[in-house]
Amino acid sequence: MPRLDTKLHLDMLEQWRRQRSFPRRLLRAVRLAKQALLGKEIYGLQWGDPEVMQSLSFLKDRYVLPYVNPAHDALEIGPGGGRWTRYLLGFRKLYVVDYYPDLLQQLRRTVKAPNITIINNNGCDFPGVPKRSIDYLFSFDTFVHLEVDLIRAYLENMRDIVKPAGNVVIHYSDKGKIMAQMNKNFSDNDTAKMRGIISDCGFKLREEDLTTLAHSGVARFTLE
Ligand SMILES: C[S@@+](CC[C@H](N)C(=O)[O-])C[C@H]1O[C@@H](n2cnc3c(N)ncnc32)[C@H](O)[C@@H]1O
């Protein structure tokens, strides 16, 4: 039986009121206006801000931040406007690759750092990235749109650039989930197919998250 004397609901209302207090709303408005005026709004936050959305915040804390290391080199595939790139700037070197020059141009507007190398690729390669140099490879909201033949080609090419113990974290479409089936922009992939590609390409699956997101999954894998 629920405890009717719980303070939970009144506390939640109070917390919401505090968040909407006039000084806080004013601060938020000033911050947003400043970003808009300087053209610094991050393209991609409309899909969810990892600072605010609980599921993304969880994935950031589990699959991204623990791996950031100033003695390591990293690579991101499909950075968009830099929604996740901003968390990867603490690596020694960060390569970002994207197939679309316009998206890379958008990234340059919002993310500036001396350790970034921006690369326009052919849709599945890593031109200029030294062999066996990458300690951490990350991609979010990009492979969800790639068909399995392209994902396979990417993983084949990844084998050349990641270090044997380097961690690869890929977010992919899972058509086993109703929310992916309803999204025509999501590719025809699922957990079983993704596991098969990872293993066929010589990687070992280390960890996967099949529950946090309603339309997709996250896999972490290494070569050794
Ligand atoms: C939906 S956006 C996601 C951007 C960012 N990762 C985020 O989560 O906000 C997809 C990104 O993948 C890029 N992209 C699409 N196909 C690609 C491919 N084959 N190789 C590399 N980048 C690709 C797009 O240009 C875009 O930057």
Q: What CATH number is associated with residue 140?
A: 3.40.50.150
- 13 and 82 share one domain: no
For residues 76 and 98, the answer to whether their CB atoms sit within 8 Å is no
Residue 38 has a pLDDT of 82
For residues 167 and 220, the answer to whether their CB atoms sit within 8 Å is yes
Counting ligand 1 atoms within 8 A of each CB, the residue from 76, 142, 158 with the most, and so the one to mutate, is 142
- 30 and 90 share one domain: no
> Does residue 149's CB lie within 6 angstroms of at least one atom of ligand 1?
no
- 93 and 157 share one domain: yes
> Which tokens go with 6?
């719980």
- 81 and 133 share one domain: yes
- 56 and 15 share one domain: no
Helix (H, G, I), strand (E, B) or coil at 182: coil
Residue 1 has a pLDDT of 61
- In this structure, the residue with its CA closest to atom 6 of ligand 1 is 79
Block mean pLDDT (10 aa), the chain, length 224:
87 95 93 84 94 96 98 98 98 98 96 97 98 98 98 98 98 98 98 98 98 98 96
Q: Judge whether 2 lies within some domain.
A: no
Q: How far apart are CA 135 and CA 201, in angstroms?
A: 18
pTM: 0.92
CA–centroid distance, 78 to ligand 1, in Å, is: 3
- 13 and 77 share one domain: no
Residue 39 has a pLDDT of 75
Strands (DSSP E) along the chain, which ranges? 73-77, 93-98, 116-120, 134-139, 162-173, 204-209, 216-222
